[in-house]
A and B are shown apart, each in its own frame.
Chain A
Amino acid sequence: DTGVSQDPRHKITKRGQNVTFRCDPISEHNRLYWYRQTLGQGPEFLTYFQNEAQLEKSRLLSDRFSAERPKGSFSTLEIQRTEQGDSAMYLCASSLAWLNEQFFGPGTRLTVL
């Protein structure tokens, strides 16, 4: 399977704990995106990378959130000191440069107790 993969698929944590998610994009895609989706809503853009450079961050990405893509391949999204409001599906997507048709992974569902 050469699609976007994410790990873990589900994460349950207690408030105040740190969590880290991983995304592996489609191999030839140089752009990688993170989104958050809550129930009944469309995905909300968080941040994106072109190769290893983080080029844009939305205002939704608070100081507790950090994303990396160290070698321009996989990416990690870390949430520090989780809050109940962080409970959501975290989606990763990747694309080729010019077309920007984004292919989404299966998502990581985070539940903060």
Chain B
Amino acid sequence: ELKVEQNPLFLSMQEGKNYTIYCNYSTTSDRLYWYRQDPGKSLESLFVLLSNGAVKQEGRLMASLDTKARLSTLHITAAVHDLSATYFCAAPYSGGGADGLTFGKGTHLIIQP
């Protein structure tokens, strides 16, 4: 059974600082997804990482995937208050690409002025 673990689960940081959220998964997977969720809202797709070594960047967020280490990272550069949200990583339920997703518990990120 696939397990997805995120670290840390809670993070409070100041604007302008850099930080990294880690996502480990327990079985082989060829892809990894990152989502954002604002309080009371649904999930917004951020990144789809499709292969080992994949790196994607959007604004102050950069995501990477190491399938050999079963590790993905979400790096935040020069954080701003608008990035405060809960961030989830997810991998396909049974390792393949055609499945429902298994999500981590999420990282609740608070960015203070």
Does B associate with A? yes
Q: How many A-B residue pairs have CB under 8 A?
A: 65
Interface residues on A, range: 20 to 34
Is there an interface contact between B93 and A99, defined as CB atoms closer than 8 Å?
A: no
Q: Interface size bucket, B side?
A: 20 to 34
Segment among B13-21, B63-71, B75-83, B101-109 that sits at the interface with chain A: B101-109
- Our pick among A45, A91, A106 for the contact of B93 (Cβ within 8 Å) is A45
Q: Is A21 an interface residue (CB 8 A)?
A: no
Bound-state CA distance A107–B31 (Å) is 25
Tell me, in angstroms, the Cα distance from A97 to B96 when the chains sit together. Answer: 12
Given pairs A40-B106, A99-B50, A102-B45, 12 additional interface contacts (CB within 8 A):
A41-B105, A42-B88, A42-B90, A42-B105, A45-B102, A56-B100, A91-B42, A97-B98, A99-B48, A104-B42, A106-B42, A107-B42
Q: Which residues of A contact B106 (CB under 8 A)?
A: 40-42
